[in-house]
């Protein structure tokens, strides 16, 4: 794997000047993933923060071939691009080795784009799908998605006097993707560059579909001070709220095991979206969140043979 020094000399695929917020995890993740590729890439993106903030006509931050068409279809769009590439290779119209990456937020992936993603994974296109998961529809103003964690306040699951935020457990998209029998699925984070670039390089190398679910915190939606991005990521891993792991040909590997597994409150407390949970009477919700985290972590340890 390339060192940070080596990566710093590579040409960036996503350059500065975009309008993503300070403290946003998405552009960090995208830059590191693009830097990890040994091959030229073509990028497709779903509608979302990443797309609207990087392509405001007549400007663009993408220094690679990039296409966006709609919200729910980036996996289908990349299917078409990859199919055309295959056709060209078969006809001898190109001999370049090119890789294809689709980016979508959790709204565009867990929810509205799930069908297109499932179809593309099943068809076996050679592409990497990256979900930058910030746990809500941040682009339209922090509405809940099926990636929103239990208890979080969003603008469609507000912390009211009768209902304290989102009541449902979040969907496990990484497992859903892995269940398609793809060669590589993993969870990573914008907060650990080595983990992310290593996994991105592996995922890109796979001949066939690969999936990366990348935790990409959002200061607006999660309500944390913008300099705290990396510490929020670290708490997500140290509490095992966001386990870092890989599934390679069905084999589970835990990428990071905290020396001391912190209580979920440590992840919740710095974030405004969970503030209401700290009020007396909501201890039950926190206990349930802790139980969600524990059961998933134990499941992963078991599957990884640890």
Which of 99, 192 has the CB closer to other proteins? 99
Tokens 């000399």, residue located: 9
CB 247 within 8 A of CB 299: no
For 182, what's the count of Cα atoms within 13 Å in the CB-facing half-sphere?
Answer: 34
For other proteins, which stretch binds (CB under 8 A), given 87-95, 154-162, 211-219, 252-260?
Answer: 87-95
Question: Least CB distance from residue 220 to other proteins, whole Å?
Answer: 18
Q: Which is nearer to other proteins, 40 or 284 (CB)?
A: 40
Q: Distance between CA 235 and CA 241 in Å, rounded?
A: 8
Local structure of residue 14 (DSSP, 8 states): B
DSSP symbol at 109: I
Nearest to 130 by CA among 169, 187, 65: 187
**Is 37 an interacting residue with respect to other proteins (CB under 8 A)?**
no
Calculate helix-pair angle for 74-91, 114-123, nearest 10 degrees. Answer: 30
Q: Select the residue interacting with other proteins from 78, 128, 152, 212 (CB under 8 A).
A: 78
Please identify, among the stretches 70-78, 171-179, 262-270, 281-289, the one whose residues bind other proteins according to the rule CB under 8 A.
Answer: 70-78
Question: Which of 265, 252, 259 is closest to 296 using CA atoms?
Answer: 252
Q: Does 115 bind other proteins (CB under 8 A)?
A: yes
d(CA 201, CA 196): 8
Burial state string for 176-192 with b = 16 or more CB within 10 A and e = fewer than 16: bbbebebbbbbbbbbbb
Residue in the structure block whose two tokens are 């867990």:
110
Among 1, 84, 287, 291, which residue interacts with other proteins (rule: CB under 8 A)? 84
* Segment interacting with other proteins, rule: CB under 8 A, options 115-123, 147-155, 213-221, 232-240: 115-123
Q: How far is the CB of 45 from other proteins (least distance, A)?
A: 9
Minimum separation from the CB atom of position 16 to other proteins (A)? 15
Q: Which residues of 77-108 are buried (b: 16+ CB within 10 A; e: fewer)?
A: bbbebbeebeeeeeeeeeeeebbbbbbbbbbb
Under the binding rule (CB under 8 A), the answer on residue 141 touching other proteins is no
Task: Report if residue 62 touches other proteins, rule: CB under 8 A.
Answer: yes
Residue among 117 and 300 whose Cβ is closer to other proteins: 117
Q: Answer yes or no whether residue 55 interacts with other proteins by CB under 8 A.
A: yes
Of the listed pieces 20-28, 79-87, 178-186, 197-205, which binds other proteins according to CB under 8 A?
79-87
Instruction: Select 95 or 249, whichever has its Cβ closest to other proteins.
Output: 95
Contacts with other proteins by CB under 8 A lie at: 40, 42, 44, 51-52, 55-58, 60, 62-70, 72-73, 75-81, 83-88, 90-91, 94, 96, 98, 115-116, 118-120, 122-123
């Amino acid at each position: 794997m390339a060192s940070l020094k080596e990566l710093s000399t590579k040409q960036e695929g996503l350059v500065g000047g975009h309008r993503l917020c300070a403290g946003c995890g998405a552009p960090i993740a995208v830059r590191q993933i693009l830097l990890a590729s040994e091959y030229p890439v073509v990028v497709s993106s779903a509608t979302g923060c990443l797309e609207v903030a990087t392509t405001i006509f007549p400007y663009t931050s993408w220094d690679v071939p990039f296409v966006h068409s709609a919200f729910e279809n980036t996996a289908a769009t990349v299917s078409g691009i990859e199919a055309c590439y295959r056709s060209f290779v078969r006809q001898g119209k190109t001999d370049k080795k090119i890789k294809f990456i689709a980016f979508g937020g959790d709204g565009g992936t867990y929810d509205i784009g799930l069908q297109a993603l499932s179809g593309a994974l099943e068809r076996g296109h050679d592409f990497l799908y990256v979900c930058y998961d910030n746990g809500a529809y941040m682009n339209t103003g922090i509405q809940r998605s099926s990636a929103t964690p239990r208890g979080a306040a969003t603008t469609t699951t507000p912390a009211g006097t009768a209902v304290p935020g989102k009541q449902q457990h979040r969907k496990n998209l990484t497992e859903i993707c892995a269940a398609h029998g793809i060669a590589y699925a993993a969870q990573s984070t914008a907060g650990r560059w080595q983990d992310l670039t290593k996994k991105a390089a592996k995922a890109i190398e796979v001949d066939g579909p690969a999936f990366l679910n990348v935790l990409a915190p959002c200061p607006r939606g999660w309500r944390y001070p913008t300099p705290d991005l990396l510490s929020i990521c670290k708490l997500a891993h140290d509490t095992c709220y966001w386990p870092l792991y890989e599934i390679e040909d069905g084999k589970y590997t835990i990428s990071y095991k905290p020396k001391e597994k912190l209580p979920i409150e440590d992840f919740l407390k710095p974030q405004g979206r969970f503030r209401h949970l700290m009020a007396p009477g909501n201890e039950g919700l926190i206990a349930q969140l802790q139980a969600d985290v524990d059961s998933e972590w134990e499941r992963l340890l078991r599957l990884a043979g640890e």
